[in-house]
């Protein structure tokens, strides 16, 4: 995790409790320094003594216990060079601790803040890393849901790694959510239009993808069988669920930002950003690889 503008309610005594749980007498752990801090987490650079094996320890506030449980469940099943490697997790009084791969190159957000738009060679390499990670997740039946510059890390040789799977879901778990919930979950500049527009306000010819229709039909049948209430897809408060398509929309936004130095949809306020995503076409991206990329193909027809 990068950045230090917020503070996690962290106490050094809990770090000691964690080390007691995890430390092996034959492989003691040395903690070097704090390398990142956010509203709900703190990260430390660590090493196993007598070895050149560096890694990261994340202490995460237990208020996110459900999200961390979801993330841990998914990460245990994943193994890909463009996804942050997960090793183990532990629990103390107020925090959950994750042992993960050290990504020493910070995140894409920091790089874009410093360099703005990137050279073509870098765009090609970085896009390839993110694409491979997304395709792998989709093959595993997982929707990432939160693709944005702050969830993409670099290792020490410049390879991109997806991190932060707190909001990721399997296709069997997708469901519509109220639009106001969506606005609290993620950086809205990378959300696809269908994730922000209530169903009854849809003036686009947009349909649920066939795989999600089948999943929802099966869910409704199961809920009826078990006597549980289902949700109404015509509820005016609900937006469409996350999907493989919404992941690809976010990927297109990232590509655009790497080329242009800014997201395709911006605004002074959250409301203005939402309005622009729903109504505006992004400006055509500059010439990359000899081709002018247009993002209108990502818009629902």
- Exactly one of 107, 129, 146, 247 is catalytic; which is it? 146
> To 10 degrees, the CA torsion angle through 42, 47, 52, 56?
-20
**What residue ranges in the chain does DSSP mark as E strands?**
29-37, 41-48, 53-61, 86-91, 95-100, 142-143, 152-154, 160-162, 169-170, 177-178, 238-239, 287-288, 291-292
CA distance 163 to 204: 33
The beta-carbon contacts of 117-121 under 8 Å, at least 24 apart in sequence, are 117/258, 117/259, 117/260, 117/261, 117/286, 118/258, 118/259, 120/288, 120/289
Rounded CA separation 20/74 (Å): 26
Q: Is 61 noted as a catalytic residue in this protein?
A: no
Tell me the C-alpha distance between 37 and 30, whole Å.
Answer: 19
Active site amino acids? 146
């Amino acid at each position: 995790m990068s950045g230090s503008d917020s503070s996690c309610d962290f106490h050094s005594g809990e770090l000691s409790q964690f080390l007691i749980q995890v430390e092996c007498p034959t492989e003691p752990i040395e903690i070097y320094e704090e390398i990142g801090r956010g509203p709900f987490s703190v990260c430390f650079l660590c090493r196993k003594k007598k070895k050149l094996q560096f890694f990261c320890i994340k202490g995460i506030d237990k208020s996110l216990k459900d999200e961390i449980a979801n993330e841990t469940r998914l990460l245990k099943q994943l193994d890909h060079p463009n996804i942050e490697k997960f090793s183990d997790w532990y629990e103390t009084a107020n925090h959950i601790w994750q042992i993960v791969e050290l990504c020493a190159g910070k995140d894409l957000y920091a790089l874009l803040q410093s360099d703005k738009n990137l050279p073509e060679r870098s765009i090609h390499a970085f896009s390839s890393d993110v694409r491979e990670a997304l395709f792998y997740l989709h093959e595993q039946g997982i929707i990432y849901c939160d693709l944005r510059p702050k969830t993409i890390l670099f290792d020490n040789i410049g390879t991109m790694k997806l991190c932060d799977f707190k909001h990721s879901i399997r296709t069997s778990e997708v469901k519509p959510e109220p639009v106001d919930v969506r606005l609290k979950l993620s950086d809205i500049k990378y959300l696809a239009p269908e994730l922000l527009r209530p169903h009854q306000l849809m003036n686009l010819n947009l349909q649920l993808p066939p795989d999600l229709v089948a999943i929802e039909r099966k869910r409704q049948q199961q809920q009826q069988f078990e006597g549980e209430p289902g949700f109404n897809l015509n509820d005016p408060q609900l937006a469409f669920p996350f999907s493989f398509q919404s992941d690809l929309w976010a990927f297109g936004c990232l590509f655009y930002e790497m080329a242009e130095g800014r997201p395709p949809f911006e605004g002074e306020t959250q409301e203005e950003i939402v309005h622009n995503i729903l109504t505006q076409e992004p400006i055509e991206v500059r010439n990359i690889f000899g081709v002018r990329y247009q993002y209108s193909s990502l818009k629902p027809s």
